[in-house]
Structure 1
Amino acid sequence: MAFATRMTQALRQNWRHYLVEAGGPMAFLTVSSLAAVVFHHPDSAAARALGPQEWVQRVGVGLVVGLLIVVMAYSPWGKRSGAHFNPAVTLGFWQLGHIGTADALWYVLAQFVGALVAGFGVVWALAPWFGHHLIHHNTTQPIDATHGWALALGAEMLISGLLMLGLLGSLHSAQGKKWTGALAGLLLAVFVVVESPLSGMSLNPARTLGTAVASGEAAGLWLYFLGPLAAMWATAEAYRRYRQRRPPTERPPQYPDAAAQ
């Protein structure tokens, strides 16, 4: 009963934060799906102008996605919630005590709901172009090769760990804190260009679930949960132990409900 009360209280106090966390995946999936069509579909003028090389087209997608992350992180809405937009990021911050349990659960629920809504929306709106094999409904899938699932899992764990490490390093630095959003955008842009041929570059279980459910293409769905969640949790725990050996010179960043729970 006490837990239900805490959940209800958190919803009453911080529902605006949860709407932001739902809106983040919605915006990401919508914009990244449009970018995938614009830069990859053979009928697109932008794709024809960039030429047939997929890595060049991925640069266009990466720039759009990276800029979107920066805009969302520095927007008043992103600042309100902390701009997690990702259940794996929320798990990592929860492990560090930067967000309380009730808020973390609401964050994750909101992120999945937002991604599912956007997933069905873009599959419906972009139907004439979305099913092309170069876009495959903007889903994230392992490469079609022997042990492709293992390669995709390892790649997802690597980029997820790098993202979490970058976020924690900048957030706990007096000089680097203001650059956290820019760093996140830069990392995602690089990952889109370099890593996406291996796994589709998810980093985010909610993002993957949104288009997978809407399109009915859920190959290897489990690894897009296991990889980011395990890597970000492990990175956060390793960082916590590292910080225990080096006491912080300033209070760590706080998110809603962190002090209360």
Structure 2
Amino acid sequence: MPGFPFNIWSRIRSWFVAPDAHRSRLTKLISRVSVEFTACMMFHFIGSISPTPWANGIALTVLVYYTAKISGAHLNPAVTLTFCLLGHTHPIDALMYWVAQVTGCAAGALWIAGLVPGLNMRNAPSGEFQALSGCFTPAAALTPFQVFAWETVSTTCFIVPIFSVVWYTQHKNGYGNSGPLIVGLSLAANALACGRFTGASLNPARSLASPIVFQCPYPVYSYVLGELLGGILATLAVVPWYGISRSAWYRVPSFFFGLTMKNQRSIKLQTISEVDSVVQTRVQLPSTISASDICDEASAPSSPGLASIQEV
């Protein structure tokens, strides 16, 4: 990723050099982070009190509807990591999201400790309602590595369908309001598949939240590392079909997946009819001049009309 550390430094410096220019952006970032915190708090609370795949899937669907237009409805550090690697979310924003997601889920665990009888802070869950603590308990026969592998595979399978929603909604006007349903169904399906083995956390924030409040008897690192690796593998699975964001925060070689360099001001002429349309509109050439004539003259240095099209 050429220029990776310099892009981050330039962004940090710009906040101090021109604070007024970024005041509105700061307000938007605070709004997005606050929504992520609130939604994660509700998601961990509801998903723990009703620890079934369908309840978690329905809760996630509702919360995605609630947050989609504000924060992008990540609600999961692994999803945020995938968005970041694909160029949709800047690392600084991703870090803020991670903090909001983990602290939000931890706040949801505090709700559980305060409202559910027999569940006390810093104590191992016990009693009639110990299954409602939000602690994910793997099957007794599983090793920590198997827990890691299950969470990796399940998180990857959960995240990949999400990007069909993102891509088609952005580029093809598809799915639209039905997008959150696909996200919730993806979670429910994967939870039904692996829940009997690991409890199906599929979310590093939820894996960390209850152990922060209670003494959960499971290998937290196996869950968190597996889920983050799942986010990375989901990136590799998404790129060949849906590519990298055209407005990625890092620079992408122009030959890489057919994407242009960041901040390169150009238009993509995909079809001959589009060439004709742009030429007639921008250059106002006679209609008798065809797109094939334009293409034949594309390499000529004395063609100011075509140069102006390429540098709109």
The TM-score bracket by the shorter chain reads 0.7 to 0.9
Q: What does residue 103 of structure 2 align with?
A: 113
The one-letter amino acid of 1:14's match is L
The one-letter amino acid of 1:141's match is T
| Whole-Å separation in 2 of the counterparts to 1:253 and 1:163 | 25
1:7–1:118 Cα change, 3 Å: farther
Measure how far apart 1:124 and its partner are: 2.7
Q: What does residue 23 of structure 1 align with?
A: 38
Task: Give 1:139-154 correspondences, 5 Å limit.
Answer: 139-145=135-141, 147-154=142-149
Measure how far apart 1:238 and its partner are: 3.6
2:40–2:105 Cα contact (<8 Å) kept = yes
| Whole-Å separation in 1 of the counterparts to 2:157 and 2:28 | 33
The one-letter amino acid of 1:188's match is L
Measure how far apart 1:169 and its partner are: 2.0
The one-letter amino acid of 2:91's match is T
Q: What does residue 160 of structure 1 align with?
A: 155
- Give the match's secondary structure for 2:133: helix
Residues matched between the structures, number: 226
Task: Give 1:89-100 correspondences, 5 Å limit.
Answer: 89-100=79-90
Q: What does residue 137 of structure 1 align with?
A: 133
Normalization by structure 1: what TM-score?
0.76
Measure how far apart 1:62 and its partner are: 2.3
Q: Is 1:84 aligned to 2:74, yes or no?
A: yes
1:125 is aligned, of 115, 121, 127, to 115
| Whole-Å separation in 2 of the counterparts to 1:200 and 1:7 | 42
Extract unaligned runs of 5+ from structure 2: 1-8, 17-21, 120-124, 250-261, 264-312
Q: Once structures 1 and 2 are overlaid, which stretch shifts more, 173-182 or 212-221?
A: 173-182
1:123–1:211 Cα contact (<8 Å) kept = no
The one-letter amino acid of 1:87's match is P
The structure with more helix, counted as a fraction of residues: 1
Q: Once structures 1 and 2 are overlaid, which stretch shifts more, 133-142 or 110-119?
A: 133-142
Q: What is the CA deviation profile of residues 200-257 of structure 1, one whole-angstrom value per residue up to 9, with x for unaligned ones?
A: 111111111111121111521001111111111122134224445xxx9xx77999xx
Measure how far apart 1:131 and its partner are: 2.9
| Whole-Å separation in 1 of the counterparts to 2:13 and 2:154 | 37
The one-letter amino acid of 1:28's match is F
The one-letter amino acid of 2:136's match is T
The one-letter amino acid of 1:171's match is V
Higher RCO (Cα < 8 Å, 6 or more apart) = 1
Q: Once structures 1 and 2 are overlaid, which stretch shifts more, 215-224 or 200-209?
A: 215-224
1:254–1:67 Cα change, 3 Å: farther
Normalization by structure 2: what TM-score?
0.64
1:151–1:198 Cα contact (<8 Å) kept = no
| Whole-Å separation in 2 of the counterparts to 1:25 and 1:229 | 17
| Whole-Å separation in 1 of the counterparts to 2:193 and 2:214 | 25
| Whole-Å separation in 2 of the counterparts to 1:62 and 1:209 | 19
Measure how far apart 1:177 and its partner are: 4.8
Q: Which has the larger radius of gyration?
A: 2
The one-letter amino acid of 1:217's match is C
1:4–1:191 Cα change, 3 Å: same
Q: What does residue 40 of structure 1 align with?
A: none
| Whole-Å separation in 2 of the counterparts to 1:16 and 1:254 | 22
1:143–1:149 Cα contact (<8 Å) kept = no
| Whole-Å separation in 2 of the counterparts to 1:119 and 1:254 | 35
Q: Once structures 1 and 2 are overlaid, which stretch shifts more, 198-207 or 130-139?
A: 130-139
1:71 is aligned, of 53, 62, 65, to 62
| Whole-Å separation in 1 of the counterparts to 2:82 and 2:96 | 15
Extract unaligned runs of 5+ from structure 1: 37-60
The one-letter amino acid of 2:152's match is M
The one-letter amino acid of 2:110's match is F
1:98–1:253 Cα contact (<8 Å) kept = yes
| Whole-Å separation in 1 of the counterparts to 2:161 and 2:112 | 30
Q: Is 1:222 aligned to 2:237, yes or no?
A: no
Q: Is 1:203 aligned to 2:202, yes or no?
A: yes
1:148–1:96 Cα change, 3 Å: same
Q: Is 1:237 aligned to 2:236, yes or no?
A: yes
1:120–1:210 Cα contact (<8 Å) kept = no
| Whole-Å separation in 2 of the counterparts to 1:201 and 1:132 | 22
Q: What does residue 186 of structure 2 align with?
A: 187
Measure how far apart 1:28 and its partner are: 0.9
Identity of aligned residues (%): 23
| Whole-Å separation in 1 of the counterparts to 2:234 and 2:186 | 16
